[in-house]
Amino acid sequence: MTDFMTPKQRSQAMSKVRGYNTKPEKLIRSYLHRQGFRFRINNQSLPGKPDIVLKKYKAIIFVHGCFWHHHKGCKKSNLPDTRNEFWRNKIAGTVMRDQRNISDLMKQGWRIAIVWECGTKKKDDLENIIKKLSKWIIEGQSKRIELSGTAEGCP
C-alpha cells in the first residue's frame, strides 16, 4: 500500500507526535493521583527519563506508544509500507534503548511497569490497568510488569 500523504503532509503529521506529556501518560497520571499516589514525571537523572517515578515505592512506570516502542502482537505496531528499512531500523533502535534503560534501572533497584498505549483507549481497560498498577505499586512484589488493552489485535 502506498502512502496516502505527500512527503510534506507526512512531515507535518510526524512533527506533531509528542515524546512526553502524551494523552495516555496524562490519563495514567490522573488516575494514579486520584488514588493518592504522588510521583515525579520525566526524571532526567534516571536512564530513559521515566514517564512516572514513584520514589517512595521504588517504582517506575513507562507509558509506551504501541507503534514507537513496537508492542509485539498489537495491530498499532505495524510498520509503514513506505521506507520500510528506515522504520525497521528506527523502531529496533528504540526497542534496544528501552531494554538497556530498563536493565540499568533494575540494576539500580527500581521496579518497572510498562503500560501500553492500547490499554488506555477503552475506559474498562484503563480502569483495569489502574487497579493492577495500584496493586503492583503497593505490594512491591514483582520486579517488572507489562499491561495492555483487551482490544482486538492486542496481545
Q: In this predicted structure, what is the pLDDT of residue 2? A: 57
Q: Judge whether 5 and 100 are in contact, CB under 8 Å.
A: no
Class of domain 19-147: alpha beta
- Which residues, 6+ apart, have CB-to-CB distance to 85 below 8 Å? none
Q: For 69-85, how does the pLDDT look when each residue is reduced to its tens digit (9 = 90+)? A: 999 888 888 888 778 89
The mean pLDDT of 45-65, rounded to a whole number, is 95
Mean pLDDT of the chain: 87
For β-strands 40-41 and 52-54, DSSP reports them as: antiparallel
Mean pLDDT of 84-101: 93
Contact 104, 80 (CB under 8 A): no
Each residue's pLDDT tens digit, 13-43: 666 666 667 889 999 999 999 999 999 999 9
Q: Which residue has the higher pLDDT, 14 or 68?
A: 68
Of 147, 46, 57, residue with least CA distance to 102: 46
Tell whether the model's pLDDT for residue 110 goes beyond 70.
Answer: yes
